[in-house]
Amino acid sequence: MINRIIIRIKVLQVVYAYYQKNSRDLVSAENELLFSLEKTYDLYHYLLLLIVLLTDAEQKRLDKNKNKLLATEDELNPNRRLADNRFAEQLRVNGKLTAFSMRRGTLWNDDNSLFVRNLLKKIIQSDYYKEYLASEDSYGSDKEFWRKVFKHTIMEDEELGEVLEDKSIYWEDDLDVVGTFVLKTIKRFTRETGAKQELLPMFKDEEDKEFAVKLLHQTLMEEKESNERINRQINNWELDRIAQIDLYIMQIALSELLNFPSIPISVTLNEYIDLSRYYSTPKSPNFINGILDSIVKELKSEGKLFKNE
């Protein structure tokens, strides 16, 4: 689930924090990186569990309406499609998700009850809910309902980001990316797999974890050499005049260019230019692109860069 886009973001965050500290420790930085990636994987589970929580909230809403002193006929005999949603029930009993909940303890708590009720209200008032009630009563309809609602209602809810940020500072920049993996997971579910449906693993393979640790190590260990190369390309500028985040992005990009021969040059350049669009100033992408392009040419002329464009 944690791909190299997420890894590059996390390495940038850890590098930034590392240079703000008076005492710098490489082992602590590595531990911080791995912990940050683990928290991203936690968010993946939190978002899946939110579907179960919203389904529970629907059941509570129906029970409350039914127990009113002057309950209407619709309240006494409500439509139970959402409360009995088969996909949500499959999530509830999923072995991997259950194990995660037991390991992590309480995830969503009573402090989030108002947020959940408000989100449920938005879902019930949405066109997706109306379409769902009018659709065929099947597992496929149940799953498709939650796919649409997650993508268009849950992920677009402004309060969700605030709630998650209160839970973990590590989730501030993770929601959009992790949300795409939740959608992929929903699509992968089948009725036949039941509680044994596999969730996405934390890393696709051991190579991605090694990539994360090595990229961080090399960036921090090659700081002096990277800064010297950058400094040679910034005519009439001093390093301390460059935005810190731009400097760190270029340091990481240079370490990736030099230490990962299987990653094409264009992939590395595009990834870090995109990163600057999100984390830095409007002028940063062009600035970083120019500097890195010049350094690539320098490295090739020195015979230090041999790999695919």
Which residues, other chains included, contact 123 with Cβ-Cβ below 8 Å and sequence gap of 6+?
54, 129, 149, 153, 154
CA 256 – CA 292 distance, rounded (Å): 12
- Residue 244 carries which side chain, given as an amino acid letter? Q
Q: What is the CATH classification number for the domain harbouring 296? A: 1.10.940.10
Residue 204 covered by a domain: no
pLDDT tens digits, 29-65: 999 999 999 999 999 999 999 999 999 999 999 999 9
Residue 217 covered by a domain: no
- 223-229-233-235 Cα dihedral, nearest 10 degrees: 70
Q: Quick one: pLDDT at residue 305?
A: 86
Tokens encoding 177:
């990316």
Q: How many CB atoms lie within 10 A of CB 300?
A: 12
Residue in the structure block whose two tokens are 């309060």? 159
Closest CA to 249 of 269, 265, 263: 269
Domain boundary among 160, 178, 196: 196
Which residues, other chains included, contact 189 with Cβ-Cβ below 8 Å and sequence gap of 6+?
87, 90, 143, 197
Same-domain pairing of 125 and 192: yes
Contact 220, 15 (CB under 8 A): yes
Same-domain pairing of 165 and 109: yes
Q: Quick one: pLDDT at residue 187?
A: 97
* CB-count burial class (<10 Å; 0-12, 13-18, 19+) for 255: buried
CA 131 – CA 171 distance, rounded (Å): 32
Domain boundary among 153, 179, 196: 196
| Least confident residue range of 106-110, 166-170, 210-214 | 106-110
Closest CA to 286 of 274, 295, 297: 274
Same-domain pairing of 59 and 185: yes
Buried b (16+ CB within 10 A) or exposed e, 214-239: ebbbbbbebbeebbebbeebbeeeee
User: Residue 87 is part of which domain span?
Assistant: 23-196
pLDDT tens digits, 229-248: 998 888 766 666 788 999 99
Which residue did the predictor score with more confidence, 81 or 109? 81
Instruction: Give the chain's domain count.
Output: 2
Looking at the chain, the whole-number percentage of residues with pLDDT higher than 90 is: 80
Closest CA to 216 of 24, 1, 23, 22: 24
Helix (H), strand (E) at residue 214: helix 206-221
List Cα–Cα distances, 218 to 123, 257, 275, 278, in angstroms. 47, 11, 19, 23
Same-domain pairing of 249 and 284: yes
Which residues, other chains included, contact 203 with Cβ-Cβ below 8 Å and sequence gap of 6+?
1, 2, 209
- Per-residue pLDDT band at 19 (split at 50, 70, 90): very high
CA dihedral for 51, 53, 59, 62, sign (positive or negative): negative
